[in-house]
A and B are shown apart, each in its own frame.
Chain A
Amino acid sequence: MRTRLLLVLLPLLALLLVALETPLAQSHAERLSQERFLKLVGAIEELAGIADPVLREGGDARRLKALLRSTERIHDSRLFVVDDVGDVKIPSGRDDPANPGAIARATAAALAGLSPDRPATAWPWRREPFVLAAPLGDGGRPPGAVVAVAPTAGVRREIRDRLLLLAAAGLAVLLLATFVCLLPLARWVLRPVDELTSGVQRITAGEPDARVPERGGPPELRGLATAFNAMAASVSRALERQRAFAADASHQLRNPLTALRLRLDSLALHIAPDGERELRSALDETQRLSTTIDVLLRLARAEATAAEMTVLDVGRIAAGRVEVWAPAVAAAGAELMLSVTDACHASCDASAIEQALDAVLDNALKFGDGAAVEVSVAQHGDDVRVRVRDHGPGLTAQERSAAAERFWRSARDQNVDGTGLGLTIARTLLETCGGRLELHDGRPGLAVDIVLPLADQPRVSL
C-alpha cells in the first residue's frame, strides 16, 4: 500500500517538475545560442565592412585575408568571402566540411541583401553548425557576402551542462519531497490501517477487548476505526451473551435432571425385583442426557472461547496424540500408523488441535471396522494437513457434507454410543483458530483432514 501510494504520487510530482523545468531549459538554451549568434554576426558584419571596398574597388586583399584568419581563430569558425554571383573570392584557411545546402541558402539570402537569420537553437542533440552570411555594402545590390560556418560544439556543451544541472536539481527536489512530504503523508494515511490490522489480529488472538484509536489519519479511516470499534464491541457482547447462555442452560437443565436422578435412586428402595431392569435403564437414560448436556455446553464454550494462538510443530502434536491413542486402538484390535511427510509448523491453538484430533480419532476407531487407521501430516501449499484415514465403510458424498453438522449420525450408526457432536466440536475448535475440517473419500473408508494455516518460522514456545 505504501509502495503503491508512492508509485502514484512520485510520477505526479516528477511530471510537475518537468513542466516547471522545461521552459527554464528552453530559455537557457536560447540565450546561449543567441549569444553565440550575436558574436558571430558582429564579427562577420565587421568583416563585411572591410571586404566591401576590397571587392568593389579591387583594394588590398591581404589585410582582409589576415583579418579573416584571425577572426576564424577567435570564433572557431570557417569564414570566406564570395562575390555577387556566389563564387568564392577569398577562401577560408580551414578545411571544408561540406554543408553545401545550408551555405547556398545563406549565401543566396545575403546576396539578396538580407541580414543573417537567427539559426535554430543549438540543442545538445543538434550537430549542424550555424551557417551565417552577411551582405557587403549598405543598400543596393551587394557586391558579395561574408559567409561563416560555425560549429556549435562549445555552446552545445554548455547547454548540456545546464540541462544536466537542472535534471540533478529536479531529482534532488524529488528525493527531498519523498522523504519530507510523501513518506510522512503515506504514514499518516496508513497508520489507521496498520492500527486496524493489529486490532483485528489482537481480537483474533483472543483479546476481545482490543480496540483501535479513533484519532489521527484521514476522516474516512477515522470513520472506519469508529465502525470497527462498534463492531468489536457488539461481537464481544454477543460472545458474552452466548457464554451466559451456556451457564444458564447448564443450571436450568441440571437441576431437574438432579432431582430426577435422586428420585429414581430413592424409588429403587421400593421397587420389586422384576422392575429393576426398567429402573436401571431409566438411570442410564439420565446419564445419557447428562452426557449430552455436557457435550452441548462444551460446544457452546468452544464457540465462545477465543483461541490462544501460538506457532506449533504439528507433527509433534500428532505424534503425541497417536501415542496416547495407540493402546486404545490396539485394544480394539486395530492398528494406528503415523507418517509425518513434512516437518511443518502451523499457527493455531494447541489444545484445539489436540481436542479435534481426539474427536476425529475417536470417530475413526468407532466406525473404522477395526481396520488400520492412518494419520499423516503433510504440507499442501499454504496449509498443513493432518489426515486421519480409516478403512471402514466410509461415507457417501452427501453424508460427508452433513457429517459435521450438529447431532448428525449416519443412519446405520444411530445406536453407537455418542452424541453426534464430536466432529461439530472439532470443526468449531478448528475454526476459532483459523483452521478447518474437511471430509474426503478415503477409498476405501473415510479421510478426515484437519487443515491448519502454515506458519513461516517456528518460534520458541514457552
Chain B
Amino acid sequence: MRILVVEDDDRVAAALQDALTQRGYGVLRAQTGAAALSLCESHHVDLVLLDLGLPDVDGAEVAVTLRATTKIPVIVVTARADLPSRVGVLRGGADDYVVKPFSIAELLARIEAVLRRTHRGDEAADGPIEIGDLHIDPSSRVVTVAGARVALTRKEFDVLAILARANGAAIDRQRLLVEVWGTDWLGMSRTLEVHIATLRSKLGRRDTIETVRGVGYRIPVAPPVS
C-alpha cells in the first residue's frame, strides 16, 4: 500500500512518514499541489493524504482534479478553523477528512475504512448497518434493537449513524458537532453529551456507545452483551 502525503510543513510530513512507515505503508511525499498531481501520474498511489493549506494551489482544487482524473481515494487534512472549506472539500470529492492535530490511531482507522470502501466499490455508504442486535437503516431512518423499534429524533439518529458507520473507530467530538450540528464550537459539546446520554438510555444499554477519553465516542463492532 502506498500513500502519497501532500504536506508543505516538513516536520509534520516527516512525522507522518515515520508513523506510516512503522505501520507498513509505503510513503511518497509532495510539497505542492502540482507535485502531487504529477506524482500520481508517474507512480502507483493507493491513497492521497492531502493537506488543504498548500503553497501553490488550494488543496480543495487538488482534490477536485484527483477525483476527476483518477480513482485514487483522498483523505483531506485540515485545520479546525475553516468549517466551510471542510464541507466544500467533502462535496468536492474527498472521501474523508481528519482535523489537525489528529492521532495516528484515528488516521489509520480512516485510511483503513476508506481503502476498504474503495476496494468494495461501496461508494454510497447508505446500506443498512448491523452491529450485534442493533440494526440501523439509513434510508428509512429506522433503528431497531433486538427487533424492537427505537424512536429517535433526527439529530440522535444522525449521531448514531455516524458512530455506527465508523466501524469501531472513535469519532471525535468536533467531527460529530460539525456533521450533525454544523458547528465546531466545543461549547456545544454539552449538547452532544446530552444526545449521547439520551441515545444510551433509548438503546437500553449504557455501553453500546463507549466514551473515548479526550477524543469522543465509538461503537465497538462487537458490543459486550450485558
Contact = CB atoms under 8 A, between A and B. Distances in A.
Given A247-B82, A358-B188, A263 B198 contact: no
From DSSP, what is the main secondary structure of chain A's interface residues?
Answer: helix
Nearest to B213: A284
A355 interface: yes
**Residue among B82, B100, B104 with the most chain A CB within 10 A?**
B100
Given A247-B82, A250-B81, A265 B104 contact: yes
Contacts of B193: 328
B197 A262 contact: no
Contacts of B185: 298, 355
B190 interface: yes
Interface string B91-127: 0000000001111110000000000000000000000
B186 A331 contact: no
B194 A265 contact: no
Contact of B12 (A262, A284, A287, A291): A262
Interface string A262-299: 11011001000000000000011011001101110110
Interface in B56-107: 79-82, 100-105
Interface residues of A, number: 42
Contacts of A297: 80-81
A291 B193 CA distance: 17
A228 interface: no
A265 B101 contact: no
B100 A254 contact: yes
Nearest to A287: B214
A30 interface: no
B103 A261 contact: yes
Interface of A: 246-247, 250-251, 254-263, 265-266, 269, 283-284, 286-287, 290-291, 293-295, 297-298, 301, 324-325, 327-328, 331, 355, 358-359, 361-362, 365, 422, 425
Interface of B: 9, 11-12, 14-16, 18-19, 22, 53, 79-82, 100-105, 174, 184-188, 190-191, 193-194, 197-198, 214-215
19 contacts: A251-B53, A251-B79, A254-B80, A255-B11, A255-B12, A258-B100, A261-B102, A262-B19, A265-B105, A283-B103, A297-B80, A324-B194, A327-B194, A327-B198, A328-B190, A359-B187, A362-B190, A365-B190, A425-B187
